[in-house]
Structure 1
Amino acid sequence: MNGVLSSVDQRTKLVGENRLELLMFQLGSRHIFAMNVFKIKEVIGVPTLNSMPGSHKNLKGVMNYRGSAIPIIDLRQAIKIRGSGEAPESNNVIITEYNRTVQGFLIGQVLSIVNTSWDNIQPPPNSIGKQNYLTAITQIDIQGSKELVEIIDVEKVLAEIIDYDTKISDEVLDEEISGYFAGKQILVVDDSGTARKQIRDTLAQLGISIIERKNGADALKLLQSWADEGKRPSDEILMMFTDAEMPEMDGYRLTAEVRNDPRMSDLFIALNTSLSGSFNDAMVEKVGCNRFISKFQPDMLVDVAQERLREYLAANKNS
């Protein structure tokens, strides 16, 4: 199964072209699920797991992976699929890296990897409710027929196991400027409701108002609507935090579109993503982001917001 991801390093070029590759798999039902290949380090058979007494119910155990102990999460149980699963011999483990941590997900049969565009990825319908574990859906041609593929909100799965603390360290806060955040707005763009809440809960402690959008296309429409009304987006919002991976338009394309529009090209943009890897520094420079933050780091979010506020205050001190 390692061969499935043997060329993953060559796939980094897809990032920034509004394209992605999805690893498709099943979880013991006819439904097809997917994860972005770039977040996957390896696919292996189910190893020997050591149980951890008192651990979260969705953890199957811990395995030794390249010299480190990593948790293995039962993905089927975590997203609350009912019924009996597949036979053990058809199970696999996806080793992933999210939010600067490595973990494995117990899955069923691996189907294939598909190359597609974010244009073809759509948000899940609102009618499925807020308790779902999807960030997006798409349709993929499999053996001549269109099949619905459900892309899992891994950040929500992890947030139900890991207690993410949104408390801001005292040493990070700049008391000299903190009072100037009142009345300021920040645009947060992320397809994961969990990720948006983490940012909102963090920045709300500074008195910042948050505007939320679920993907790059919706965020760009908002910015363009302000510009069409004769408003400068950089006057409407202090800055924008954007995820990298999102349906319809990813964060890299969103940033490039903003930079190419003279009406909004001066907007301060921070890329806030669970993707790891040195390619991010290159992509930030290529598309013109001001900062890159690897999720989830409350102190870093505040540090970036304060950096932007200092810049804003310096530019407007005589006005």
Structure 2
Amino acid sequence: MTIINNQIILAERPNGMPDQNTFRFVQQDVGELKEDQVLVRTLFVSVDPYMRGRMQDAESYVEPYKVNEVIEGGAIGEVIDSRSGRFQQGDVVIGMFGWQEYYVATDKELRKIDPSLAPISTHLGILGMTGLTAYFGLLDIGQPKEGETVVISGAAGAVGSVVGQIAKIKGAHVVGIAGSNEKVQYLKEDLKFDEAINYRSTDNMEAALKATCPNGIDVYFDNVGGEISDAVFTQLNRYARIPVCGAISAYNLEKLDLGPRVQTMLIKKSALMQGFTVGNYADRFNEGAVQLGQWLQEGKLKYRETIKEGFENIPNAFLDLFKGNNVGKLLVKVADHQYRK
């Protein structure tokens, strides 16, 4: 029986904010499996801010997407056919097969996950790359100490929400910056942040930071860049640490982003500012995954997911990232798990 694979490809490189013309839906027949290959049916697709950077034809830490090829990204699926001794029908797997309903993979491209440990979607979020990004960025670069003040921008997102909770585990005073009253309430009431600021309704960010961080800022986990970060930099303590995870405020700008120069400020405060990607810690992923899983089982970590339904809604979900419409990890559910064991 012929299986038709619906795919989403990069139709053109966007200038500024992507739109529906950036993507195109195509169909392709799924071919016969070869030795050591498996056929995967997609269940969940991850949409992430870093994907915007890969749409540009520019040198970065990962290769840009190619025009007229499938948008690659993290996905979870189930094996529906296998010619590999490592996988059998019904196995739940994770890989980078991206925005398509089916994928023919070599057995080395996939990793099996255990659906009994936690909902499978968590392996794209708190137990996956976003959780690991929070874990290593905060603990390896930020190194929060008990009693210090940690500020997180994009705090209600997939990474930021985990960063704040880990900082609380380490005994820090935690302040989150987010973009709505609903998100502020989520941070304070559900995740137990000490303080939270709605930047959209705040006229003076420096004053708001002084009020919520009376002892200054020791660690700033930067997810957004832009004017929010400019305000945070004015409140840094001596020997502050700044893990730079993202700069979503600038991703869709058509001209070079300009702002205050930070060099003098860093020198005056003897502060450390370091960019990173989670791939820097690939050889330590198991360490992070084990600790995140333990904290989750102990109830020390909570998570929220914003899940959109339907393969056809993947581009809309991706665009929602830049509107701030999600709380926690943003995923698209493509299909239900069929071959449950």
TM-score scaled by structure 2?
0.34
